[in-house]
Structure 1
Amino acid sequence: MKNYLYNISGGSPRSLWPSAIAAILDGIAKIIPAALLVDLFNTIYVSFAHPEIGLNTNRMWVVCLILFAWLLVEYAAYASLYDKTYLAAYSLSATGRLKLAEHIRHLSLGFFGKRDPGDLTNLILSDYGQVEHTISHNVPQLISAVVLPIMALTGLIWLDFRMALVMFIAVPLGVLLLWLTDTIQARLSENHVQAKNEAASRLQEYLTGIREIKAHNMSGKRFERLRLSFDRLKQASIRLEAIMGPMIMGAMLLTRSGMTLMIWTGSYLLVGGSLSLPVFLLFLLVGTKIFEPLTIVLMNYGEMRYSAYSAQRIMDVQQEQTMEGSADVTAAHPSIIFDQVTFGYEAQTPVLSGVSFTIKPKTITALVGASGSGKSTVTRLIARFWDIQAGTIYIGDQSIRTIAPEKLLQHISIVFQDVYLFQDTIGNNIRIGKMDATQAEIEAAAKRACCHDFISGLPQGYNTPVGEGGSTLSGGEKQRISIARALLKNASIILLDEATASLDPENEAAVQQAINALVADKTVILIAHRLKTIQNADNIIVLDQGRLVEEGTHDKLLNGQGIYSRLWHLQQQAEGWQVKT
């Protein structure tokens, strides 16, 4: 139970203490009226058993007044329980989601490569929703179901140990049945979560790729992957309920059989004269109050076990190791050194093997090579999206592993080939480069990026909203906004992933002009597909199958008659290509 509460609370079980105490007080408040009713019944019983004493009406009035007043106590106890449980549930869920999202931001991108896209969405939304519901509804009942029977047994055993033992003798049997089936429940919960994640991923894939689905006539029944994932989810849901339902009902029947045994035993003892009627009545009334939370907890056991798996999934991600490093970059314009770097997205399949080179400050270095040669990997390693398996990367005279990833990225601006814009205004998308930037600074960056004119021509200017991913803008417009971000950030290292590769001539000229403004007096590493754009680079690094095979200026490599020279001549020939009719 300790581990269960630890995982459910996101590692802070003390946050559940207020709601736990409130649950116990609420349970006690519900039991007290039973004792008062027994006293009321005993007063009436005594008057009939001993007519000479008469009916003590004063005592009856006092008990009735206490019962009425106790309604306010019960209301206050339940109100406190309600406030504390829901406050704990919503607070833990909200802070937990933010904490998990922040933790995920510090993880290597390799973590995301191992997870299905729908998995993390379900983790943050669905799994936390399950945990939130459990904290607000099931945890208080669980605490009451554990604490109140122990308190009741301790008190009732002094009245009549026979009745107390018979009442609770079946409870361990019901708990034992659930314990024996715990492994089955865990496996069913795991299978159901996996089926739910797969269905979410297939749905996300379906919506993201709807254009391709329509283009290839895969919509409707022909898109089997989506249908099969929902079918597997249905089967997993049916198995979860069908298998666990009878087991949980069996545990409930075993547990509640204690009430039946207690009534039978009490009747026998009552007839035999060894048990008084008021004590028998007290056991009946207290028993109904005690077995009510026990029954509810057993009824919700499947849901609690399911939420335990959800909580464990959350804790597993929270325990993922973040990237090391706490130092800041010390040099204003540091050099970048790769020293025998080996790296693979999968450890057994290296993408880079023993790569060594030096990028001097305030120079332009181009990365050239065929697809899959490792060009993009080099830029990602400079930004420390991943950690390498062997060798060392130096930023200035510091090993990159000693630098905090966030502090490193403060010195790096990246312009990707595929630009992503958030579902916000254009101005706020540019402001990502510098969150405290003024409107004047944003517009100045936009002018240098050659996008101020087209933004000003929009109906709401810089306040114009863009669709998710920038779906309302063209490729060239998104590229220029991305460059405006980088200009606003004003970092000393610029990483360019061939920003003009997929643009038309008019947009290419505008973006190229923006790039020229961006790279002035910076250390630039760019991935080049069209070699004519890098003729003036200070250094050109040629990669082939993850190895550095050539390095030098354009003229030097062209005279070397190697891979670069071959690629140059192939591109020169391709420029004259045209469709023949």
Structure 2
Amino acid sequence: MLEPGVKKLIAPARKSMITTAIITSIGGTCAIVPYIAITEIAANWFRGSPSDTLWLWVGVAIVAVFANGLLYGIGLGVTHISEANLRYQLRRRLVQAFGRIPLGRVDQTSSGSIRKMVCDDTAAIHTLVAHLAGDAMNSITALVVGIGYLMWVDWQLTLLILGVWVLIFVVVTGTMMRGFTESTSQFSSAKTELSAATVEMVEGIKEIKNFQAAATARTRFDKARRYFAEISYQWLAASGKPMAIISSFFQPAVILVTIAPPTVWFVSKDWLEPAYALPFFMVGVGLPVGFLQFVQIMQHLFTANQAAQDTADLLDIPHQPDGPHTDGPGPKPGEVELTDVSFGYNPENPILRNVNLRIPAGSVTALVGPSGGGKTTIARLIARFYDVDAGAVKVDGLDVREVSNQWLLNQIAIVFQDIALAHDTVANNIALGNPQASRDEIVEAAKSACIHDRIMRLPHGYDTVIGGDGGFLSGGEKQRITIARAYLHNAPILILDEATAQTDPQSERDIHAALAALAKGKTVIIIAHRLATIAAADLIAVIGEPTASTSETSVLATGTHAELLERSETYRTMWEKQQEVAK
């Protein structure tokens, strides 16, 4: 019933679930005892037996009723506490897993999918842990004990009644539950897609509003919403119709119709004492209700099982292994080198081929070229967002696969075009790469990034929460916050991916001055589209689709600005087009 990955996932709660199963099983047994007591009282009454056992049976019935409620409550309390602890641990493990699996894998996972995994899927496990052992075992035990008692009273009548119920159930489920598993899987997938699209829509609401309703209708959110609605109807039809029909058949009034005729017949034939007809009207009427509860639990369990499997699959993603080097510089401090590097997000379709590029320590190297040529991919390989398919990437003369991830990220500060700020104070956002930094150091970093004056105009200065309480910043201002973060991180290697892309022309000059101060004494790798901003770089590498003339390598040419204007047609064409636009 449970996948191996799910069993492993809920293993920490296994002892609690077993304890609850035992407790609620005893409670389920107690649920039948009052009916046995009533039957025995009635039997003694009809037989004219002494009433000295009357109060004994009354006492047994009362104790059994209280014991059933008490044991059920205690049992579910145990698993609910265990589930709360497990959910907390799972969320911690998920967050930790995102820090240990390849950064590129995280980068490719939408924020909506991550939210569903961390919040929704872990919450769905609640049914699996908190109710599977308790509710299921309580229902099963009451069902089994009830049937066992009726079999003891009269096995022939019991089998006759059960045969009618089983026939009804088989006919309904056999004809109407087809495709339930497939529709549930599609429902889970559609829910994930809608969750991801919703988060992305909220994050891009300004752009969506800018293009009005006609464009919004064509967004991924609209498609996901429509698909989710369609799948929801199919899923509800696949699960709801059979349950509605079964429930209608198994209502007490209908069940009474299936019990009364054969029971009256057995009594009239003197095959059954009148007093012992009572269990069939009391216990028998309640058995299908317990069975329906069990079926409903199984439906919820199926959904929870799928959510748990998604969580287990994520936790089973192989962690990016740490290399043995954890401390101290390598043999070539500050140098970055790519040797015969080939890589593709899909290995069958490589983006980079046979890249050989040496970036000397303390130099400024620019990566330029057509969009999609692999410039940002090179930057991410240097930071080991991914491992190369072939060749090697070296930082400080050490293969990035031979160093710890912590060591590597301590050597590199990255300012990507995509801005990532936390819903936290300005000070904490700047200090992300150096949590031990003092307020004076944070302020100095902000001044160097030309953002201090703007911060001081916020409602609470450096203690203003970004995104709330008046802490709204423009794209260029957010970019300068990330530059201040990189300044405070003070890593020897600096990667700038279009760091001034979201700044206005007036502030761009100040940003370049800040970057010049930040880059002093560091190895700087700049990814740029505006060639005028990198014309003074020590080395420029033109990255693009390999051609026969480049011996099938993604590095089309390297050199200074003047050298590339003379011998790189790609670079010269890009420069001339940008100069024409600037006129």
TM-score in terms of structure 1 length: 0.83
Whether contact under 8 Å (2:121, 2:311) holds in the other structure is yes
CA separation of 1:47 and 1:168: change in aligned 2, threshold 3 A: closer
Name the amino acid aligned to 1:481: I
CA distance in 1, matches of 2:347, 2:18: 47
Within a 5 Å distance, the mapping from 1:312-351 to structure 2 comes to 312-332=309-329, 333-351=333-351
2:50 to 54, 68, 82: 54
1:215 counterpart residue number: 210
Name the amino acid aligned to 1:318: L
CA distance in 2, matches of 1:334, 1:223: 47
Name the amino acid aligned to 1:376: T
1:142 aligns to 2:136 (yes or no): yes
1:121 aligns to 2:115 (yes or no): yes
Whether contact under 8 Å (1:414, 1:496) holds in the other structure is yes
2:242 counterpart residue number: 247
Q: Secondary structure at the match of 1:295?
A: helix
Residue 486 (structure 1) shift: 1.2
1:187 aligns to 2:182 (yes or no): yes
Residue 383 (structure 1) shift: 1.0
Residue 531 (structure 1) shift: 3.8
Deviations 1:173-229 (A, max 9, x none): 647975897761111112223333444455445444443444344359966865554
2:9 counterpart residue number: 11
Q: Secondary structure at the match of 1:218?
A: helix
Q: Secondary structure at the match of 2:101?
A: coil
2:507 counterpart residue number: 507
2:93 to 69, 94, 99: 99
Name the amino acid aligned to 1:424: D
Residue 151 (structure 1) shift: 5.3
CA distance in 1, matches of 2:493, 2:412: 5
Q: Secondary structure at the match of 1:420?
A: coil
Residue 340 (structure 1) shift: 1.0
Whether contact under 8 Å (2:176, 2:241) holds in the other structure is no
1:88 aligns to 2:85 (yes or no): no
2:557 counterpart residue number: 550
Name the amino acid aligned to 1:514: A
CA distance in 2, matches of 1:260, 1:28: 31
1:42 aligns to 2:37 (yes or no): no
Residue 377 (structure 1) shift: 1.3
Within a 5 Å distance, the mapping from 1:20-419 to structure 2 comes to 20-32=18-30, 34-39=32-37, 41-43=39-41, 45-50=43-48, 54-56=50-52, 59-108=53-102, 110-111=104-105, 118-133=112-127, 135-137=129-131, 140-150=134-144, 161-162=155-156, 165=159, 174=169, 184-218=179-213, 229-248=224-243, 267-276=264-273, 280-282=277-279, 285-287=282-284, 290-332=287-329, 333-419=333-419
CA separation of 1:442 and 1:170: change in aligned 2, threshold 3 A: farther
Whether contact under 8 Å (1:175, 1:251) holds in the other structure is no
Residue 559 (structure 1) shift: 5.2
Report the more deviating stretch, 68-77 or 474-483. Answer: 68-77
Name the amino acid aligned to 2:24: D
CA separation of 1:254 and 1:27: change in aligned 2, threshold 3 A: farther
CA separation of 1:204 and 1:566: change in aligned 2, threshold 3 A: same
Name the amino acid aligned to 1:96: L
CA distance in 1, matches of 2:428, 2:416: 18
Residue 44 (structure 1) shift: 5.2
CA distance in 1, matches of 2:31, 2:356: 81
CA separation of 1:184 and 1:308: change in aligned 2, threshold 3 A: farther
Deviations 1:69-126 (A, max 9, x none): 4454334313313422332343333332332233234334554676666444334433
CA distance in 2, matches of 1:331, 1:75: 64
CA distance in 1, matches of 2:8, 2:152: 40
CA separation of 1:179 and 1:443: change in aligned 2, threshold 3 A: farther
Q: Secondary structure at the match of 1:394?
A: strand
Deviations 1:264-315 (A, max 9, x none): 6655554554545555545655545654332212245444333333333333
1:481 counterpart residue number: 481
CA separation of 1:33 and 1:109: change in aligned 2, threshold 3 A: closer
Within a 5 Å distance, the mapping from 1:400-439 to structure 2 comes to 400-439=400-439
Unpaired runs of at least 5, structure 2: 547-553
CA separation of 1:240 and 1:152: change in aligned 2, threshold 3 A: same
CA separation of 1:412 and 1:293: change in aligned 2, threshold 3 A: farther
CA distance in 1, matches of 2:528, 2:490: 22
Residue 382 (structure 1) shift: 0.6
Whether contact under 8 Å (2:267, 2:274) holds in the other structure is yes
Number of residue-to-residue matches in the alignment:
569
Report the more deviating stretch, 451-460 or 215-224. Answer: 215-224
CA separation of 1:291 and 1:16: change in aligned 2, threshold 3 A: farther
CA separation of 1:525 and 1:475: change in aligned 2, threshold 3 A: same
Aligned sequence identity (%): 28
Name the amino acid aligned to 1:352: L
CA distance in 2, matches of 1:433, 1:459: 24
Deviations 1:387-430 (A, max 9, x none): 22222222344432344444422321101234222222111111
CA distance in 2, matches of 1:278, 1:3: 48
Whether contact under 8 Å (2:176, 2:238) holds in the other structure is no
Whether contact under 8 Å (1:130, 1:310) holds in the other structure is yes
CA distance in 2, matches of 1:117, 1:536: 38
* Cα RMSD, aligned residues only: 3.8
CA separation of 1:227 and 1:139: change in aligned 2, threshold 3 A: farther
